[in-house]
């Protein structure tokens, strides 16, 4: 039996500390002055963001492992600024010989990078000798011959190619003969925002997404026996697939049971595609931050759907693509469906925003990578790891895709949520695991150490993988859980919904998140934000003393507020637990009193449990002498 105390005895040894405001950098102060953002957490009256329309013809050359593309891009400058330069991301220059990297690249993947054979901007031709003075690592900075005025549109034409990684890659590659996942693949216009202007953070391995919301019209040409799954919706299904496959797919769109859309036997019997040497797959996607695709000539394809919005009856397809003989992937569509259902109706409790979610299996043992409507996942041996992997990558649909957060600077705004959210569903589908303990233990591995940095240190400035991982995943996951326990489920969810309603399809900052939660809470939460997000430190509670076996004095030795869990044991073998919410520390108190029942003889008291982070458990036990 678990008891939750609403009132905790009396405060002992309380200390008075003046309330401190969260530090506000100058560039963010300027955004408030310009009224692009408001101090209550809402977008300001003059908020703006840019966007682009991408029309791309791409060819996957499977004989030479080369991707060739030709793009026409309309870039909409909605900012109040005249743009004299434009920053274009060439992600696959990560593998260009001589480039700096924070991620290992193996022999066989090192290339001459992205080859640009043509670049025109507003009809004017640009050439490499005269017009590309600032080609850095992956940022291609072009000085414009004709600046882009506020409220106007620039048109770019660009032809390019690159060698597809085949050995180790980074978040994409050729994984096997006839089996590719292609992401970070097209020349992409960087974000120009109200905080930093052009995003010039380089793609050197650790940083991931920060993209505008764009429209995509994509043609992908592959050999005639290759399937393609992609962001967006396929426009010419009947031109490529045989009637029976189209019928199965159509059935999956309305089915609550898994449909085996394509099997390896279908592929072997040539009962999948219309007969042709090559097919061009045509996809469209609107208002999404990126586009990726998977392509394979030997994968199964399963699909099932569900209603994600009871008001409209809108259905979402959850489908999986995977080679034969991989652990658990025959259950992948069901796990994906359960994940989308949980996120749509429980937490965050917002209807899944896209028409489909495809999980593509790379065939590797582990690892995963998210993109809008597509995830590139490994094949873990343990079912619990499989569930958590699929859920984690699907949850990125909300953060950073639906919410448009800047993962390059604040990875905890998306990876932290993706590390927090799987806990409850993991316990249901794979009860043999303890996801919350796993996350807590991983945070404690580095908590309070010299190399652990506060979350508000921009992600791209981390050079230690362990530090970056802790700051992006485990510390924020634990912090979100402690925040939920401090606020209570109902208020926490209300604040999260308010934040998501305000900022979906936009680019929220951490301060927009903090200020929205403060407003919904109707009380300042800086007592929580500062230690968990802005400062060095660690969680550590201790039993300071037990008085007469009736009163436990709990001391906050560390800096980070956490939930207080006191378990007591009696002489006759009875035990019970008292839980005090994290909010007990909001007044900056250092000690609290927890009263035990008067009618029992307590012989042992244990503070905390596997779900409450504590760097020193040696001071968490008291026993009657």
Provide mean pLDDT across the span 616-621.
96
Q: Tell me the three state secondary structure of residue 388.
A: helix
Distance of CA 265 to the CA centre of its chain: 36
The tens digit of pLDDT for each residue in 237-278 reads 999 999 999 999 999 999 999 999 999 999 999 999 999 999
Place of tokens 């682009």: 52
Kindly tell me if the per-residue pLDDT of 1 is higher than 60.
no
Q: What is the CATH number of domain 50-207?
A: 2.60.40
Rounded-to-integer distance, Cα 617 and Cα 607, Å: 8
Q: Do 2-18+537-623 and 50-207 agree at the fold level?
A: yes
Beta strand 374-377 with 368-371 is: antiparallel
Provide the pLDDT confidence category of residue 2 given band limits of 50, 70 and 90.
Answer: very low
Class of the CATH domain delimited by 2-18+537-623: mainly beta
The whole-number pLDDT of residue 177 equals 97
The whole-number pLDDT of residue 625 equals 80
The DSSP bridge partners found for residue 159 are 70, 118
The tens digit of pLDDT for each residue in 68-104 reads 999 999 999 999 999 999 999 999 999 999 999 998 9
Rounded-to-integer distance, Cα 113 and Cα 135, Å: 12
Q: Are 430 and 387 in contact (CB under 8 A)?
A: yes
Provide mean pLDDT across the span 129-139.
75
**In this structure, what token pair is assigned to residue 62?**
């499977």
Rounded-to-integer distance, Cα 25 and Cα 400, Å: 22
Rounded-to-integer distance, Cα 78 and Cα 152, Å: 7
Rounded-to-integer distance, Cα 437 and Cα 245, Å: 44
The tens digit of pLDDT for each residue in 30-61 reads 999 999 999 999 999 999 999 999 999 999 99
Rounded-to-integer distance, Cα 394 and Cα 353, Å: 12
Q: Are 464 and 451 in contact (CB under 8 A)?
A: yes
Kindly tell me if the per-residue pLDDT of 16 is higher than 50.
no
List, in sequence order, every beta strand (DSSP E) within 2-130. Answer: 2-4, 11-12, 51-61, 66-76, 83-89, 115-121, 124-125
The DSSP bridge partners found for residue 193 are 197
Provide the pLDDT confidence category of residue 21 given band limits of 50, 70 and 90.
Answer: confident
The tens digit of pLDDT for each residue in 459-511 reads 999 999 999 999 999 999 999 999 999 999 999 999 999 999 999 999 999 99
Kindly tell me if the per-residue pLDDT of 309 is higher than 90.
yes
Provide the pLDDT confidence category of residue 22 given band limits of 50, 70 and 90.
Answer: confident
Mean pLDDT score of the chain = 94
Provide mean pLDDT across the span 164-190.
97
Domain boundaries, the chain: 2-18+537-623, 50-207, 231-379
Q: What does pTM read for this prediction?
A: 0.95
Kindly tell me if the per-residue pLDDT of 12 is higher than 90.
no
The tens digit of pLDDT for each residue in 327-353 reads 999 999 999 999 999 999 999 999 999
The whole-number pLDDT of residue 13 equals 36
Question: Percentage of the chain with pLDDT > 70?
Answer: 96
Q: Burial of 457 by CB count in 10 Å (0-12 exposed, 13-18 middle, 19+ buried)? A: middle
Provide the pLDDT confidence category of residue 6 given band limits of 50, 70 and 90.
Answer: very low
- Between CA 568 and CA 574, with CA 573 as vertex, the angle to 5 degrees is 55
The tens digit of pLDDT for each residue in 189-215 reads 999 999 999 999 999 998 999 999 999
Place of tokens 């600046």: 147
The whole-number pLDDT of residue 10 equals 36
Cβ partners under 8 Å of residue 582, min gap 6: 482, 483, 485, 486, 528, 561, 562, 563
Kindly tell me if the per-residue pLDDT of 130 is higher than 80.
no
């Amino acid at each position: 039996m678990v008891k939750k105390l609403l009132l905790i005895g009396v405060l002992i040894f309380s200390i008075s500390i003046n309330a401190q405001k969260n530090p506000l950098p100058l560039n963010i102060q300027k955004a408030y002055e310009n009224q692009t953002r408001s101090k209550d957490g809402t977008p300001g009256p003059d908020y703006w963001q840019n966007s682009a329309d991408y029309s791309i013809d791409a060819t996957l050359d499977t004989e030479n492992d080369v991707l060739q593309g030709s793009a026409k891009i309309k870039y909409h400058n909605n900012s109040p600024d005249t743009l004299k330069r434009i920053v274009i991301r060439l992600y696959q220059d990560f593998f260009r010989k001589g480039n700096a990297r924070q991620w290992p690249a193996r022999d066989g993947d090192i290339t001459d990078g992205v080859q640009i054979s043509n670049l025109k901007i507003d009809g004017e031709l640009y050439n490499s000798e005269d017009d590309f003075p600032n080609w850095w690592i992956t940022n291609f900075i072009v000085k414009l011959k004709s600046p882009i005025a506020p409220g106007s549109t620039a048109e770019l034409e660009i032809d390019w190619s690159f060698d597809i990684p085949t050995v180790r890659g980074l978040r994409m590659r050729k994984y096997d003969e006839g089996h590719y996942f292609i992401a970070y693949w097209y020349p992409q216009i960087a974000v120009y925002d109200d905080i930093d202007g052009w995003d010039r953070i380089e793609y050197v391995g650790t940083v991931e997404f920060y993209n505008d919301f764009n429209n995509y019209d994509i043609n992908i040409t592959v050999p005639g026996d290759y399937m393609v799954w992609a962001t967006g919706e396929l426009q010419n299904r009947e031109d490529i697939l045989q009637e029976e496959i189209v019928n199965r797919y159509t059935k999956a769109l309305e089915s609550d049971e898994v449909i085996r859309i394509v099997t390896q036997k279908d592929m072997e019997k040539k009962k999948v595609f219309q007969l042709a040497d090559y097919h061009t797959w045509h996809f469209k996607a609107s208002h999404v931050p990126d586009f990726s695709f998977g392509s394979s000539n030997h994968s199964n394809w399963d699909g099932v759907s569900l209603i994600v919005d009871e008001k409209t009856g809108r259905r979402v397809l959850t489908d999986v693509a995977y080679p034969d003989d991989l652990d658990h992937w025959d259950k992948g569509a069901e796990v994906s469906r359960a994940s989308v259902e949980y996120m749509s109706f429980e937490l965050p409790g917002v209807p899944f925003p896209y028409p489909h979610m495809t999980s593509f299996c790379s065939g590797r043992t582990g690892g995963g990578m998210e993109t809008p409507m597509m995830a590139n996942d490994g094949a873990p041996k343990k079912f619990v790891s499989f569930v958590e992997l699929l859920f984690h990558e699907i949850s990125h649909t909300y953060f950073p895709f639906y919410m448009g957060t800047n993962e390059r600077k604040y990875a905890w705004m998306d990876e932290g949520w993706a590390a927090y959210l799987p806990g409850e569903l993991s316990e249901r589908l794979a009860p043999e695991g303890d996801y919350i303990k796993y996350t807590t233990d991983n945070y404690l591995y580095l908590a309070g150490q010299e190399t652990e940095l506060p979350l508000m240190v921009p992600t791209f400035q981390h050079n230690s993988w362990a530090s970056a991982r802790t700051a992006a995943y485990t510390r924020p996951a634990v912090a979100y859980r402690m925040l939920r326990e401090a606020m209570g489920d109902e208020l926490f969810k209300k604040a999260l919904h308010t934040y998501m309603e305000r900022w979906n399809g936009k680019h929220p900052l951490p301060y927009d998140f903090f200020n929205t939660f403060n407003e919904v809470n109707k009380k300042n939460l800086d007592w929580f934000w500062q230690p968990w997000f802005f400062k060095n430190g660690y969680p550590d509670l201790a039993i300071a003393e037990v008085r007469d076996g009736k009163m436990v004095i709990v001391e906050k030795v560390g800096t980070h507020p956490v939930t207080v869990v006191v378990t007591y044991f009696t002489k006759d073998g009875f035990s019970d637990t008292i839980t005090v919410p994290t909010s007990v520390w909001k007044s900056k108190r250092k000690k609290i009193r927890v009263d035990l029942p008067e009618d029992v003889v307590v012989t042992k008291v244990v503070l905390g449990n596997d779900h409450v982070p504590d760097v020193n458990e040696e001071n968490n036990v008291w026993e009657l002498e």
